[in-house]
Chains A and B, each alone.
Chain A
Amino acid sequence: MNEAIQTPVNRVQARLADSQLRRNWAKLKRNKAAVFGGVLILIYVFTALLAPVIFPRSPSAPDLDRSLEGPSLKHPLGTDELGRSILGRIIHGSRVSLLIAIGVVSVGLLVGVPLGLVSGYYGGKVDFGIQRVTDTMLAFPGFLLALALVAVLGVGLKNTVISVGISMVPLYIRLVRGCALSVKEQVYVEAAKAVGTRDVAILLRHILPNVMVPITVQTSLGMGTAILFAAGLGFLGLGVQPPTPEWGAMLGSGRAYLFNAPHVATFPGIAIFLAVLGFNLSGDGLRDVLDPRFKL
């Protein structure tokens, strides 16, 4: 008899849980800016994944006879100073920037979230220590910090990821610490302690899931910032090194030809702009949908 009662109950509940998701999805769909951002991200990710299919030729092979040509049928976005197709380099460059963005955000999350949780939850001396280091890092503009770290570590893809990632760590620490501070005062955390739950379990099972919303939003916004920072380093010649196609580096080398061949710098610039815009718009949209009270 129990079964007979429970099955429909379960079904109703499943539908309710579904409807929560669906309502969020509907809200997200109503937010035109977020949808536009999402479409940009989709285009960007698919371009990155399918780059060798869309543009099978090597993006780095020079063709000096065709250097600095304007847009044509063969090279829709023109060529750069070495005669390489700018379209091809943007397409293949999307893989590099996506890789950097994911790497940077991972570094930020893996280092920042645990430190923020520990800092907020334990408080006291641990908190003081972590927060003073965070203060110090936040005293530098983020990009300057990344730049200084590159100066120490050296250039290249891996070092770009590490240095931009570390420059983002304090943001995650602050964000997660603040949320952990408010969540740890909740009665359910006290109740969990009252049944003897270990600190680690309280952090992972009770506090972390309750701070996932702001982390998700920050992650989306952070992807945009990461792309921008990495491009900035590339522009200065301190990021990913040639001949790897990287948007910032393309922008940097195109700068020299801004007057006679403006397309060389313009198109990579637009690519950076659209990718960052996509992450920012969808990040804002996610924030509005997931938690209207939460404003960064």
Chain B
Amino acid sequence: MRQGFLLSVRGLRTRFHTYDGVVTAVDRVSLDVYRGETLGVVGESGCGKSVTALSILRLLRSPPAEIEGIIRFEGTNLLDLSRDEIRRVRGNAISMIFQEPMTSLNPVLTVGEQISEAIKLHQGVTRQEALRRAVEMLEMVQIPAPDARAQEYPHKLSGGMRQRAMIAMALSCHPQLLLADEPTTALDVTIQAQIVDLMQRLKEEFETSIVLITHNLGLIAEMAKRVVVMYTGQVVEEAPVEDLFREPLHPYTRGLLGSIPWIGRKLETGRRQLQEIPGIVPSLLEMPDGCRFHPRCNQAMDICRKEEPPLIEPNDRRKVLCWLWA
């Protein structure tokens, strides 16, 4: 393992035992996050992006969830920690922001109380001191009149404000790693831009690494340095962001990129129409044999239908899970 990794996930497999059978939501996922880096994780709904993040913090209830593999953070495997030890990591060294700012704050607690909760917990300061720092954090995420806002209940805050408050809460203990699960999806476009700016600025200020989970490729292009593309619980491609956009290797990634509208630019195919990826995501209970993408792939070969593709490394910065490059 190379130096400089903050987080290194190897062979992560998360399964859920359901009445219909065992669902493998995350299948042998490996990814690395360097210090101070933003790693983008993209993929469509249900591909295991969020479950990966929840698995890292062990926020899934088990049973039904069952997590295997190695999640090495600062040299320790998070999966080996006791419940108490992992609780001390949460919100302290690793925090998370969620997709739904409207529901991620408790309606019966004031904003200040909720932000100070993490501070009180991990820094062992008094209630007053924690509240004071919470106000500081609110100021840092550019909420006007932070003193007054801290005493308010969440229903008085707009969606953008709540997401700022959530970011304040997540960063209140200056974590080394921030798992951002679709942080801007529920917000309208102008607010999205503000939140992105804010996250960029705070990332530099606190030297936090970010795992940015999204299906918004524009956001990835803006924020991430490297990208991991996920499909049906597997990592199908990993690349630096410029390489990925310039030359996507996996047919799925090409499909994803082809389905984004670009203003004033002809698509590669020369058509002006938007491309789509044919077919639908297969059910996690009934995975196709061979490569999981083959039923939807326009370059599928015989071998794709029979055997699972190996992970190919065309160069030392890229990886792709596809027979085309074998």
A contact residues vs B (CB 8 Å cutoff): 2, 5-6, 9-10, 13, 16, 123-124, 186-198, 201, 205-206, 209-210
Contacts and interface: CB of A to CB of B under 8 A. Distances in A.
Interface string B44-80: 0000000000000101010100000000000000000
Interface string B72-109: 00000000000000011111100110101001111111
A228 to B, nearest CB: 33
B279 to A, nearest CB: 32
Nearest to A205: B109
B145 A196 contact: no
Given A13-B148, A13-B152, A187-B98, A195 B106 contact: no
Contacts of A195: 90-91, 95, 117-118, 121, 169-170, 172-173
B89 A191 contact: no
A209 B156 contact: no
B152 A197 contact: no
Contacts of B117: 192, 195, 197, 201, 205
B166 interface: yes
B308 interface: no
A195 B87 CA distance: 8
B204 to A, nearest CB: 22
Given A195-B91, A196-B87, A196-B91, A209 B152 contact: no
Given A6-B148, A194-B59, A195-B90, A186 B121 contact: no
Contacts of B92: 196
Contact of B169 (A16, A187, A190, A191): A191
A115 B166 CA distance: 31
21 contacts: A2-B145, A9-B145, A9-B148, A13-B152, A16-B156, A186-B106, A187-B100, A190-B59, A190-B98, A193-B59, A193-B90, A194-B90, A195-B121, A196-B88, A196-B122, A201-B117, A205-B109, A205-B117, A209-B108, A209-B109, A210-B108
A193 to B, nearest CB: 6
A12 to B, nearest CB: 10
- Interface SS of chain A: helix, strand, loop or mixed? helix
Interface residues on B, range: 35 or more
A286 B105 CA distance: 26
Q: Of A2, A9, A194, which is in contact with the most chain B CB atoms at under 10 Å from its CB? A: A194
A2 B139 CA distance: 12
A201 B151 CA distance: 20
Contact of A13 (B96, B118, B156, B172): B156
B87 to A, nearest CB: 5
Q: Of A2, A124, A197, A198, which is in contact with the most chain B CB atoms at under 10 Å from its CB? A: A197
B136 interface: no
A9 to B, nearest CB: 5
Closest 6 pairs between A and B when the two form their complex, measured CB to CB: A195-B91, A196-B90, A195-B118, A196-B91, A209-B108, A188-B106
Contacts of B105: 188, 191
Contacts of B151: 10, 13
A293 to B, nearest CB: 15
Contacts of A187: 98, 100, 103-104
Contacts of A10: 148, 151
B98 A206 contact: no
